[in-house]
Structure 1
Amino acid sequence: MHRTRRRIPHPLLGVLAVGVTGTLVAGAVTSGADAKGRGYAIGQGVSTSLPSPRAASTTAAPARPTTATSPTATATSPTATSPTATPSASAAAASTPSATATAAATVGKPFLGTLVTHSGTAGQESQAGLKMAMLEVSWRSLLPRQGQVDSGYATGLVKQLKAFQAAGMRVTLGLGLHYTPAWVLALAGSRLVDQTGTVSAQADLVFNQTVRDLAVDYLRALDKIVPFENFWAVRVTSGSGAEMLYPASGTYWAYSAGAQNGPTRPVTMAANPLPGWRPGDSASEAQRRAWADWYLAALDDVADWQMDVATSLGFTGYFQIVTPGQGLRPTQYTKLVAAGLSNGLLGRGAVWSVVYAGLRHRTHVTAYVSSVADGSAGNDVCQASDATVALDSGTAYYFSATRYLARVAAVNGFTVAGETPGYPASASGRAAYADASDSGLLATAYRQASGCRFLGLYWAHDDQVWDGTVPLSRLAQYSSTSAALPALAS
């Protein structure tokens, strides 16, 4: 991803998410860590035991190879300041434009930006045509104690925002709710609980109104420091992680007091239709479906809550719903419900066709692919004929994550954008990440972004631009010195 101090996520799926090594099948999750200790969930649809939507037989879908690397974020906080980087010789060196770079204008021209952008080098990036910066904030760094703002951290945020604006850039805001203060986590009942009684390391913003209220205090404090009206987009997650997912175990995280219809259940959330029920207990298929739909709708509720708060604070830009991979397809979801809700991707909430359809907010919503060029389906590109493809069809089953989520966006009338996987742990993954050819990560990701009509693509991360791994000169091939600012939401 980026440097040690700040992390953003990026898994994939053919059954969800991609990573450096390992597999995730329907009903099992493998996890690990990348070279810098960042955790990730790993998965691939090729190993699912679910039947292919193409046929009524019970055979598994044909295998699809993947080479993607996609680590998720750790809980380390971003710092408030972004030191000026001295471009290395390799960062300054020019490289030969790829075929994708020279052809991009004929397909479409998504903006190019970076994740966790260094404010000290924002001017150089803007001059090279990168007109989008990303500022990620940390709840625990801004409010290390309840009601007490860290003035030094706040000052750093203001300096960063001003630097980006002075450089002539739009700015995307990462809310940093998953960087939860210790004093919040110490509160009784403040964490998610799964069906085994395991308590999460993360705070429960999904089912706990008390925790949400504390988060609102944080967001209001943040708005006073860097007003929300300054931002082009806001990243929306589950609040317990850096993407729209439940924790990585693949179990079902709906057993806290609020999730069981206790007094902390958010006022906007529908009641649990089967309180006390656990996967494996007796229930009809219709009851299981109602419960699973409610579990997914809980992610919609926490997303809509964040959008409500941001709107109340004067934000008028895009809401980026951060979703990795292909997730479970409609047919797979139906079969998992029929089979009794085993642990796996459904426990993580990764049924994007259902999640996006269930959002109450329908304006300025962006389906945000946090795993562009993750290796799924050979990194295929959207086609004009996709407009007639149903999400539950056998054709859509074999779309890459980027192509599938672009189709989900189109069905819902949403825009689409995304980011590349971060810097991987394996030597082969790093070689692909740094590959300057037309088959390298940057060229492949921009080809998908252009073909799927993204608003923009974020490179993960700015650290790797300024340490020379993927120099600014290479990113600049996909923009121009005369690049316009990304258009405001309208």
Structure 2
Amino acid sequence: MRGLLRVALLFMATVIVGCSAETQPAPEHMSFGVLGATCASARLTALHDAGVSVVELPLAWDRYQPGAGRVDHHYVAEVRERLNSCREAGMAVVLSPGLHYPPDWVRGLPGGVLRGSGGGAPEDEGAELVFSAAARDAAQKYLAIVASDLGFEGIAAIRVGTNASGELGYPGPSDGGNEREYWAFGDAPQYGIGLAEGVAPSPMPGWIPGSGSWHGRSVTDEQVQRWWDWYSGSTVDAAVWQISELRKLGYQGRVHVPVAGRGVLPNDKAKAIEGGLDGRANPDGAQERGLDYSAQFAVLATLPGVDVDFTGLDDVTAVRAAAAVPRQEHCLPTDTENVLTDDVSQWSSHRYTSALARRAGLGLVGENPGPPDAPFTGGSPQSHSLAEQLRTAPGYAVECGMTMFLFGFEEDLFEEEVSGVSTEDYKEVIQQLKPPPQH
């Protein structure tokens, strides 16, 4: 296995150099880590030996606060022990507060669940932090408890997101609702009932995307554009709100905003607006998810210490882009200038999204999707296996200018017979990409 991996790494390096002569080894300040850390002593030793220096520690809100006004102190003690173990091992920690795992009592609050344009409610979806004042109040109190219980020492970054995957955006178009479901149709966004402070209600209450009329009049492109800007803007504003709450609590470190896919491409958006968001020019379902990265990254760039965390390095779009002629998966130095003018339809998601982030002046980190047959990884029959992701994704992170790569997931590195990867394999990848320290 490891011999084959070494051959594959050498082949990968040859391919990258042949396709992108600007690719260089990882800079000294780049760090390699894992997602889903357990902070178990034996694992920390093996990870450290592999060259891992950062771990993502996930929390679960539903376990932390299983009841309103109640904290599970056994769970808090478990989390504190894990965090201390990682700190003592010299690992930097990326903390995931777990707002995307809300307890049932939060989902039961007024407006605590998103409502779709077709009347649906997302299954197993996170709390409604985009519009609901009650859900935001509960989340703010939870974050304050976490800050008090755990502190921020040794925390390299904190992740913020708005959907069930912990990423930026609304649920997918059919996540528990009807096909092509948009998710801003509760009382708060539509009528201002229970609306969070500082959040704007719909500029067209009652209008449903795809409808050619509103209040008996034809809908104009300008009105559709205004509605879209509100819909997509509201979700990034929810991420900004979380960042603001963390700063109020005294956190001054980096903030990671996980994103997946490419969002709505510029040419597709123009066509979609002309069609009243009726489903045209929507190949990735990004319209329903409210993903307009060019505009949203501009908002995030107004805040200090924010990194875009691309969660799909070597996803299925990279596989397809690698098969294009010429190949379209590699990040190039010219991408930042060309991303808004070139035909980017065949670019890999990581290439396009990284270029937008760099253009906005945001930091960049990344991670591979994880096992293609696992939930929330976006896997398909075309997806690379986990072993193939380990061979390619870290190299993409380097050439796209990312400062951190997180492998998904720690568990898989310690179940080689099932996953096909190990800490020794990860070690070889890191040694291949990272130059030895200068003395």
Equivalent position SS for 1:193: coil
Among candidates 358, 366, 380, match of residue 329 of structure 2 = 380
Higher relative contact order (CA 8 A, sep 6+): 1
Match of 1:209 in 2: 133
Task: Give runs of aligned pairs for residues 138-157 of structure 1, distance below 5 A.
Answer: 138-157=60-79
Equivalent position SS for 1:403: helix
Determine the C-alpha separation between the residues in 1 that align with 2:212 and 2:116. Answer: 15
Match of 1:96 in 2: 6
Match of 1:231 in 2: 155
Match of 2:407 in 1: 459
Shift in CA distance, 148/94, structure 1 to aligned 2, threshold 3 Å: farther
Determine the C-alpha separation between the residues in 2 that align with 1:466 and 1:142. Answer: 27
Determine the C-alpha separation between the residues in 1 that align with 2:382 and 2:92. Answer: 29
Determine the C-alpha separation between the residues in 1 that align with 2:316 and 2:121. Answer: 33
Equivalent position SS for 1:192: coil
Tell whether the 8 Å contact from 2:120 to 2:181 is kept in structure 1 after alignment: no
Tell whether the 8 Å contact from 1:421 to 1:460 is kept in structure 2 after alignment: yes
Among candidates 108, 112, 117, match of residue 26 of structure 2 = 108
| TM-score where L is the length of structure 2 | 0.82
Equivalent position SS for 2:195: coil
Match of 1:132 in 2: 54
Determine the C-alpha separation between the residues in 2 that align with 1:434 and 1:322. Answer: 20
Match of 2:109 in 1: 187
Tell whether the 8 Å contact from 2:254 to 2:306 is kept in structure 1 after alignment: yes
Determine the C-alpha separation between the residues in 1 that align with 2:190 and 2:346. Answer: 37
Determine the C-alpha separation between the residues in 2 that align with 1:138 and 1:329. Answer: 33
Tell whether the 8 Å contact from 2:33 to 2:407 is kept in structure 1 after alignment: yes
Among candidates 262, 273, 281, match of residue 203 of structure 2 = 273
What is the CA distance between 1:239 and its match in structure 2? 4.6
Shift in CA distance, 430/384, structure 1 to aligned 2, threshold 3 Å: closer
Among candidates 232, 235, 243, match of residue 307 of structure 1 = 243
Tell whether the 8 Å contact from 2:188 to 2:201 is kept in structure 1 after alignment: no
Are 1:331 and 2:267 an aligned pair?
yes
Determine the C-alpha separation between the residues in 1 that align with 2:409 and 2:372. Answer: 11
Determine the C-alpha separation between the residues in 1 that align with 2:255 and 2:191. Answer: 29
Q: What is the Cα-based RMSD across aligned positions, in Å?
A: 2.6
Match of 2:20 in 1: none
Task: Give runs of aligned pairs for residues 51-450 of structure 1, distance below 5 A.
Answer: 96=6, 98-99=9-10, 100=12, 106-109=24-27, 110-120=30-40, 121-201=43-123, 202=125, 203-248=127-172, 249=174, 250-279=180-209, 280-282=211-213, 283-343=219-279, 344-359=285-300, 361-376=302-317, 377-378=321-322, 380-391=329-340, 393-425=341-373, 432-435=384-387, 440-450=388-398
Q: What amino acid does structure 2 have at the position aligned with 1:387? A: T
Shift in CA distance, 368/291, structure 1 to aligned 2, threshold 3 Å: same
Q: Of Structure 1 and Structure 2, which has the larger fraction of its residues in helix?
A: 2
What is the CA distance between 1:258 and its match in structure 2? 1.1
Structure 1's unaligned 5+ residue stretches are 1-89, 485-490
Determine the C-alpha separation between the residues in 2 that align with 1:430 and 1:157. Answer: 37
Determine the C-alpha separation between the residues in 1 that align with 2:297 and 2:382. Answer: 32
- Residue-pair matches, total: 388
Match of 2:177 in 1: none
Determine the C-alpha separation between the residues in 1 that align with 2:426 and 2:295. Answer: 35
* Cα-to-partner distance string for 1:94-139 (whole Å, 9 max, x where unaligned): 9536225799993324322111012111122113210011101011
Q: Mean alpha-carbon deviation: is it higher for 154-163 or for 334-343?
A: 334-343
**Percent identity of the aligned residues?**
28
Shift in CA distance, 153/101, structure 1 to aligned 2, threshold 3 Å: farther
Equivalent position SS for 1:200: coil
Tell whether the 8 Å contact from 1:94 to 1:474 is kept in structure 2 after alignment: no
| TM-score where L is the length of structure 1 | 0.74
Determine the C-alpha separation between the residues in 2 that align with 1:123 and 1:312. Answer: 35
Match of 2:428 in 1: 477
Shift in CA distance, 388/166, structure 1 to aligned 2, threshold 3 Å: same
Tell whether the 8 Å contact from 2:39 to 2:85 is kept in structure 1 after alignment: yes
Tell whether the 8 Å contact from 2:203 to 2:226 is kept in structure 1 after alignment: yes
* Cα-to-partner distance string for 1:36-58 (whole Å, 9 max, x where unaligned): xxxxxxxxxxxxxxxxxxxxxxx
Tell whether the 8 Å contact from 1:205 to 1:240 is kept in structure 2 after alignment: no
Determine the C-alpha separation between the residues in 2 that align with 1:129 and 1:430. Answer: 30
